[in-house]
Amino acid sequence: MCEFGDVIYFSSPVSVRQIGAGWATWSHGYTGNCFYTNGRTSLTMTLSSGIGTFRFYAEPNPFGVWNITATGSDGSTSIASTQGVEGAAGATGWGFYGTGGADVVSVHLSSDVDFAVGEFAHGWIPAPAGLGVFAMAGLGAARRRR
């Protein structure tokens, strides 16, 4: 298990890549780091306790549109969201939130091709019972100027 700070634990080793120098593109002007699956087509991110909201972006390694499915879990309920994501500057976001005091426990990603994840954000929002998902496809669809 590979760790990112004290918040995210990856199910398998990932490589840290810099956007523009090690990972070719992303979207909407982001130039920070991403975490490449090293050729694998699935990855589980387990979160520390106390994480009520979790947002991230993902982008396929090969250019072209590929489906990526993110499944968030609060430990008892799971919600899945599949999006077609462009590998050329098309990183797309997902967000999950736990409600009624529930934490987001994990997010499992799967795709037909290898991919990278990055641009993480987390927090806490109390709300009614259940686990929710919001997909940020519109945010990830913006193209970055080269």
Angle at 105 between CA 103 and CA 108, to 5 degrees: 140
pTM as predicted: 0.83
pLDDT value at residue 80: 95
Question: Taking all residues of the chain, what is their mean pLDDT, rounded to a whole number?
Answer: 85
pLDDT tens-digit map of 33-78: 999 999 999 999 999 988 989 999 999 999 999 999 999 999 889 9
Angle at 29 between CA 26 and CA 35, to 5 degrees: 35
Share of the chain above pLDDT 90, in %: 68
Taking alpha carbons only, the member of 103, 71, 86 closest to residue 142 is: 86
CA separation, residue 12 to residues 43, 45, 47 (Å): 7, 9, 14
**84, 101 contact by CB (below 8 A):** no
pLDDT value at residue 36: 98
Q: Distance between CA 108 and CA 101 in Å, rounded?
A: 21
